[in-house]
Amino acid sequence: MMVFWNERLVLLSVPKTGTHAYTQALGPRASMVVTDPPDLKHAPVYRYNRFFRPMFEKMGAEDMELVAVIREPLSWLGSWYRYRQRPALDGRPTSTKGQSFDAFLTACCAETPPPFANVGNQAKFVEARPNGTAVRHFFRYEDQAGLRAFLTERLGPLPDIPAANVSPKLPLDMSASVAAEVRRARAAEFALWESIPLRGA
């Protein structure tokens, strides 16, 4: 998560949406960069509302605007699957080695996913709070031009933002029936992603 105090802007770090690259590139420009622990680095809206919003408001910032990047859900799950294939997780319950992509997707749809498929939910991550705390600016991960144009407008010229923390390349073969099940089970994520306009087009 990055905070740009003077611009009253907070970029939430939705996992697997490329925000790590922006953190590396814009960190020196930010007023605050939360990199650890992971639960705060990747603070969802409810955690931002609980821990960060009260602190910011006490400091006089009652109008912080939240920004979030949302990735097409099957692509997002594919990135998680590939990321958890890395050797550092070999032998751990969170490793996806030995699991087909279909098996991973099916496990992600379970009411209680096993550790290797426990990746969260983008729609839940950005769910608005009863007190009105909500993401004001949504961008599709696939619309990097729109995101960069917005950040340039708010922050000024941006440095180069090379890709970072990229998951290893792997084939992501899935059956039509499993893809349909993912769309049913994670309908809120698909609805959210589809509702975000392309701003860079």
User: pLDDT tier at 96 (50, 70, 90 boundaries)?
Assistant: very high
Domains of the chain: 2-195 (3.40.50)
Concatenating the DSSP letter of every residue in 11-78 gives E---TTSSHHHHHHHHGGGSSEE--SSHHHHT--HHHIIIIIHHHHHHTT---PEEEEEE--HHHHHH
- C-alpha distance from residue 58 to each of 10, 12, 65, 132, 195 (Å): 16, 20, 16, 17, 34
pTM above 0.85, yes or no: yes
Which long-range contacts (C-beta less than 8 Å, at least 24 apart) are formed by 85-90?
A: 85/167, 85/168, 85/170, 86/167, 86/168
pLDDT tens column, 168-194: 678 899 999 999 999 999 999 999 999
